[in-house]
Structure 1
Amino acid sequence: MKHKISLVFVALLAMVAIGAQPVAEKSVDSPLEVHFAVMAGPTGFSSVALNKNEGRIADDIQIAMQVFPSPNEVVARLANGELDFACLPSNLAANIYNKGVKIKLAAVIGNGMLSVVSSDGSVQGVGDLLGKTIHVPGAGSTPDQMAQLLLKEAGLAAGKDVILDYSVASPAQLAQLTIAGKVSLAMLPQPFVSMILNGSKNATEVVDIQVLYEDLSGVANYPMSVMVVREQFAKNHPRALAQILKAYEDSVAWVNAEPQAAGEAIEEAGIMKAALATPSIPFCNLVFVPSQEAKEEVQAYYRFLHSFSPASIGGAVPADNFYL
C-alpha cells in the first residue's frame, strides 16, 4: 500500500511540474507560421534574408512571406487579422492605425531615398526650380507629399512658383521618359534615381531630398518605410516577436553587405528585377531602427506631414501606444 501511495505521489508531482512549465508557443515539429507581407519595390528589399532556409528563421518559427504590388491588399489583410507583420510606407502605417487597425510600429526599415533628377543638367539646385515643372509619380504619394512640403518650407508655392505634374503615375515609366529626355525634371525614389543616372550621361541629381529635409526641418532623417506588427501577435508571442525582429535586423545587414546576392534574392522573391535592385541597394538607406529608438524622428516626420495634410496620416499624429 505504501509503495502504491508513493507512486501516486510521484505521479502527482510530475503532473504539477509539467503544469508549472511555460507553454511553448509552438513545437519544433509544428512551427509557428508567421504571415509576413512586403511591398514590391525598395520597401521589400531588406526582408529577403528571411526567405533563407525556406523561411525557417528558428526551429519553431516559419516565415510565410507574401509580396504585394500595392498597399490596398495589405491593409485589408492586416485589418482582418490575416497578416502578422507588414512592411509599409510610414505615412500609411499611421493612417491605418488612426483608422482603428490594431497595429504597432515595430521598427523603421528605410529612411528617405528621394531625389529630384534633371534629364539635361540645366537645373543645378533649388534656386533654379522657380517656374519649372517637376513630374511626380502620383498625387498623394510620398514623393508628392515631400515635394509639396519642401516647396512650402523653401517659400515656393506648388502650382504657382513650381508646377507639379502627375500625368505619369508609374515611377518606372517616368524614369524611362527622363532617360529619353522627354521629361526635364522628376522627383523619384530609388532605384529609379540610380536607373536614370546610369541610363543617361546627361542626367544629374538636382536635389537630394534627404539633405534638403534636414536643412529645412532640423531633423536628420525621415522614415519612408516601417515594419508593423499586429497588436495581438505582439501580445501572444513575445518570444517569437523578439526573434523575428532580430532576424529582420540581420536581414537588413546582409542586404546592405551583399548587394549582388541580395539582388538575386530580391528578384527570386518577386520584389524587383536584380538588374534594378543590385546597383541601387547602397543608395536605398535600408536601416533597422527599433520603434522606441526611432520614435523622435518618426514623430517629427508625422508632425511635418500633419502640418501640411492631416489626412495623409489619418487625421492625427499617432499616440504613444502606436510604438512597440
Structure 2
Amino acid sequence: MKRIVGVLVVMLLVLGTIGSQPVSEVQVAQPLEVQFAVMAGPTGFASVALAENGGKISDELKVNLQVFPSPNEVIARLANGELDFAALPSNLASTLYNRGLKVKLAAVIGNGMLSVLSSDGSVQGVDDLLGKTVHVPGAGSTPDQMSQLLLMQAGLEAGKDVVLDYSIAAPAQLAQMVIAGKVKLAMLPQPFVSMILGKSAKAAEVLDVQELYSSLSGFETYPMTVLVVSEAFMKNHPRALATVLSTYEKSVAWVNANPQEAGKAIEKAGIMAAAMATPAIPFCNLVFVPSSEAKQAVLAYYSFLHSFSPAAIGGSVPGDDLFF
C-alpha cells in the first residue's frame, strides 16, 4: 500500500510541474510555410494581398512571397524543388512540362496586355504598319512571340512586310525612347503602355494586340501569365492548395478594385514602384481563371505558338495532364 501511495504522490508532483509550466514553453504547431515566387512587374501584381499580415493567410498557412527579376531564377528554383507556386509567362509552363518538371498549371492569372505604340501619331492603324519597323523588347519574349504570331495569322512575313527590331531589349529603356521620340513604333506590355501615354502627348496606341488576336484566332484573348504549382505540394497538401488558390483569387479581386492601395502594396513587396503600378492596374487584365476553365484557351494559344516556333513552348503542345 505504501508503495502505491508513493507512486501516486510522484505522479501528482509530475502533473503539477507540467501544469505550472509557463505558456510560452508549451509547444505550438507552426503553420506550413508556402514558397511562392513572382517576378518584378505585372506578373506579380495580383499576388500582393498574400504578403499582407506577414504572409499569414490562415492559422495553418503562411506564404513566403519571393520576388525575382527574371524567370530564369524562378525556373531554377522550381527545378530544385525550392518553390511550391510560381507566377510565370504562360509559355514557360509548357516549357517546364516538356522538360519533365513536375508542375501543374493551376490558373490563368493574367490575360493579354500588349499594344503597338507610335511616338508621333503618324501611324494610325494596322494597315499603316506595312513596310515599317516595330521595336520589340527582346527576341523570344512574349511581345516578340505575339508579334510573329499575329503577322503569320495575318498572312504577313516578319522581316519583309514588317521589320521587327530587337536592338533595345529592356522594356523600360524602350519606353523612354518612345517618349523621347527616338523610336517611332514599339510593341510593349503594361505598365509601359500607360507610362508612355501618360508622359507623351504625341504618343498614340496604334494597335490593341488583344483585339487583333481575337479577330484572327476566334478566342477572346490569350493567357499571358499563369500560376503553376508543384505536383508534390498538390499531392501532399490538398487542403492547403485549395486555401492558397482561394486566397489568390481574392487577392486578384482586391488589386483590381483598389489600385491605389494595391500600388502601395506592390511597391512595399518590391515588385514595382507604385507610381508606375497604380495607373496600369486597370489595363493589366488581371484575372483568376481556374485550370479546368482556362484549358481550351491555353491549349489554343500553345498551338498558335507551336505553329511558328515550337521552341517557344518547349517543343510540343502539352497534354491534358498539365492541367488539373
1:318 maps to 2:318: yes
C-alpha displacement of 1:152? 1.4
Q: What are the residue-to-residue correspondences of 1:157-306 with 2, within 5 Å? A: 157-306=157-306
Distance 2:142 2:322 in 1: 21
Task: Supply the AA of the counterpart residue of 1:85.
Answer: F
What residue is the counterpart of 2:154 in the other structure? 154
Check 1:315–1:28 CA distance in 2 against 1; reply closer, same or farther (3 A cut): farther
Distance 2:153 2:66 in 1: 38
Q: CA RMSD in A?
A: 0.9
C-alpha displacement of 1:232? 0.7
What residue is the counterpart of 1:16 in the other structure? none
Report if the CA contact (8 A) 1:28-1:60 is conserved. no
Report if the CA contact (8 A) 1:134-1:163 is conserved. yes
Distance 1:152 1:31 in 2: 50
What residue is the counterpart of 2:63 in the other structure? 63
What residue is the counterpart of 1:35 in the other structure? 35
Report if the CA contact (8 A) 1:118-1:184 is conserved. yes
Report if the CA contact (8 A) 1:28-1:59 is conserved. no
Distance 1:250 1:308 in 2: 37
What residue is the counterpart of 1:109 in the other structure? 109
What residue is the counterpart of 1:138 in the other structure? 138
Distance 2:89 2:261 in 1: 25
Unaligned runs of 5+ in 2: 1-26
DSSP-derived class of the 1:57 partner: coil
Aligned pair count reads 298
TM-score after normalising by structure 2: 0.91
Which stretch has the larger CA shift, 161-170 or 151-160?
151-160
C-alpha displacement of 1:156? 1.6
Distance 1:238 1:314 in 2: 28
CA deviations over 1:278-301 (Å, ceiling 9, x no partner): 000000000000000000100110
Report if the CA contact (8 A) 1:38-1:66 is conserved. yes
CA deviations over 1:103-147 (Å, ceiling 9, x no partner): 000000000000000000111111000110000000000000000
Larger radius of gyration: 2
DSSP-derived class of the 1:253 partner: helix
Task: Supply the AA of the counterpart residue of 1:212.
Answer: L
CA deviations over 1:182-207 (Å, ceiling 9, x no partner): 00000000000000000100000000
Distance 1:313 1:300 in 2: 12
What residue is the counterpart of 1:23 in the other structure? none
Report if the CA contact (8 A) 1:118-1:205 is conserved. yes
1:100 maps to 2:105: no
Distance 1:28 1:300 in 2: 48
Moved over 6 A (4+): none
Task: Supply the AA of the counterpart residue of 1:201.
Answer: A
Distance 1:221 1:98 in 2: 24
C-alpha displacement of 1:28? 6.6
Distance 1:316 1:220 in 2: 23
DSSP-derived class of the 2:57 partner: strand
Distance 1:154 1:132 in 2: 16
Percentage identity across paired residues of the two chains? 73
CA deviations over 1:71-127 (Å, ceiling 9, x no partner): 111101101100000000000111011101100000000000000000001111110
What residue is the counterpart of 2:75 in the other structure? 75
Task: Supply the AA of the counterpart residue of 1:240.
Answer: A
C-alpha displacement of 1:29? 3.3
DSSP-derived class of the 1:281 partner: helix
Task: Supply the AA of the counterpart residue of 1:287.
Answer: V
